Amino acid sequence: MDRPDRPDPTDRPDPTDRPDRPDRTDRPQTVGQLAGILRQGGYLADRGLATALFVGLSLQRPILLEGEVGVGKTEVAKVLATVLGRRLIRLQCYEGIDTNQALYEWDYARQMLAIRALSERQVADDEAVDKLFGPRYLLERPLLEAVRAGDQAVLLIDEVDRADDEFEAFLLEVLSDFQISIPEIGTIRAQTPPLVVLTSNRTRELHDALKRRCLYHWIGYPPAEREVEIVLVREPGVSHTLARKVVAAVNRLRELDLAKPPGVAETIDWARTLDFLGGDDFTTAAAADTLGAVVKERDDLELVRDNLEEITSGG
């Protein structure tokens, strides 16, 4: 499912480089510029990803990122928020998540305290009771927070495939019009929508309706040179030689039939661990000692140990 190697985007003229565009200083003007500021933030995006993000940002469309485990889906939203100077609002999805946890809840504890403090006369007074369902007692959850923050925020809806169907349908509704109705308070609408990044590990297929609303991008494992660069950006202390050897070995691991193939996160971890223990030395023995950084399943460990000589040779 990996993408073929692509030439470095900086080598090609940038078709989004249009001098006739009105100048907006609050967001990058070209795909290249966006890739550049992401790089400054420590994230290396290939041309396809940078383009999807640029279009999403410019045309206010949500972006759906699918891909292997540990290839930088969540990280790109975090780095985007940092480099754009926006607030990161994260909605972590899980089985059984419901609308209360995503939108808002009433602060029952404070409401109870307030009720106790009411005198008998006040309890009979509608206005005093109405206040109990006012903004003071409203607990914002990520979606409401994001609607309120508008384009000052990056909304990360992480691992949406873990949520169930009904929740996905509800998300679709929120993403359609960025407004939330609270019966006791009224409708809250985003002036300009936040940048929305959804991620999925494809533990189940998402619905077409949700996909249709989003720009879709698949993040595969990066080509070897890019992965070496990612290791060096994330772990500047690691030598180029060690990074190259580790990336070569990880790529061989990915060719084995592992239950949990290593992602970029594991490559970085392995390089960091080896560097900590002994610099550039990437012997079979050193690899065997540090496999825990990169292989996280018992059966996988056995398979890898049986092929370790081959995995660590060359690079």
Ligand X SMILES: Nc1ncnc2c1ncn2[C@@H]1O[C@H](COP(=O)(O)OP(=O)(O)OP(=O)(O)O)[C@@H](O)[C@H]1O
Work out whether 294 is an interface residue with ligand X (CB under 6 A).
no
**Minimal distance, residue 69 CB to ligand X, in Å:** 4
**Minimal distance, residue 234 CB to ligand X, in Å:** 5
Cross-sheet strand order for the sheet of 153-158: 87-92, 153-158, 195-200, 63-67, 215-219
How large is the angle between the packed helices 47-59 and 73-84, nearest 10 degrees? 50
Out of ligand X, Mg ion, none, which partner does residue 268 contact, by CB within 5 to 8 A per kind?
ligand X
Q: Which one, 111 or 201, has the nearer CB to ligand X?
A: 201
Which of 28, 62, 72, 194 binds ligand X (CB under 6 A)? It is 72
Which of 92, 201, 239, 307 binds ligand X (CB under 6 A)? It is 201
Out of ligand X, Mg ion, none, which partner does residue 55 contact, by CB within 5 to 8 A per kind?
none
| Token reading at 154 | 């990056």
**Phi, psi at residue 271, to the nearest 5°?**
-60, -45
Residues found near Mg ion in the complex (CB under 5 A): 74
Out of ligand X, Mg ion, none, which partner does residue 234 contact, by CB within 5 to 8 A per kind?
ligand X
Residues 28-47 touching ligand X, rule: CB under 6 A, are 42-44
Work out whether 272 is an interface residue with ligand X (CB under 6 A).
no
Which one of the spans 17-25, 63-71, 124-132, 254-262 is the region binding ligand X (CB under 6 A)?
63-71
**Phi, psi at residue 6, to the nearest 5°?**
-120, 150
**Is 2:220 a contact under the CB 8 Å cutoff?**
yes
Out of ligand X, Mg ion, none, which partner does residue 32 contact, by CB within 5 to 8 A per kind?
none
Which of 57, 63, 71, 291 binds ligand X (CB under 6 A)? It is 71
Q: Which residue is nearest to ligand X (CB)?
A: 72
Work out whether 293 is an interface residue with ligand X (CB under 6 A).
no
- CA angle, 262 then 268 then 273, to 5°: 105
Q: Which one, 74 or 267, has the nearer CB to Mg ion?
A: 74
- CA angle, 154 then 149 then 28, to 5°: 45
Work out whether 70 is an interface residue with ligand X (CB under 6 A).
yes
The Cα 205–Cα 109 span in angstroms is 39
Residues 114-173 touching ligand X, rule: CB under 6 A, are none
Work out whether 182 is an interface residue with ligand X (CB under 6 A).
no
Nearest residue to 199 (alpha-carbon basis) of 10, 304, 60, 52: 52
Q: Which one, 70 or 190, has the nearer CB to ligand X?
A: 70
**Minimal distance, residue 172 CB to ligand X, in Å:** 22
Q: Which residue is nearest to Mg ion (CB)?
A: 74
Q: Pattern of binders to ligand X over 225-264, x per CB under 6 A?
A: -----x--xx-----------------------------x
The Cα 272–Cα 154 span in angstroms is 30
**Minimal distance, residue 72 CB to Mg ion, in Å:** 8
The Cα 61–Cα 265 span in angstroms is 28
**Is 162:95 a contact under the CB 8 Å cutoff?**
yes
Residues near ligand X (CB under 6 A) are 42-44, 67, 69-75, 199, 201, 230, 233-234, 264-265, 268
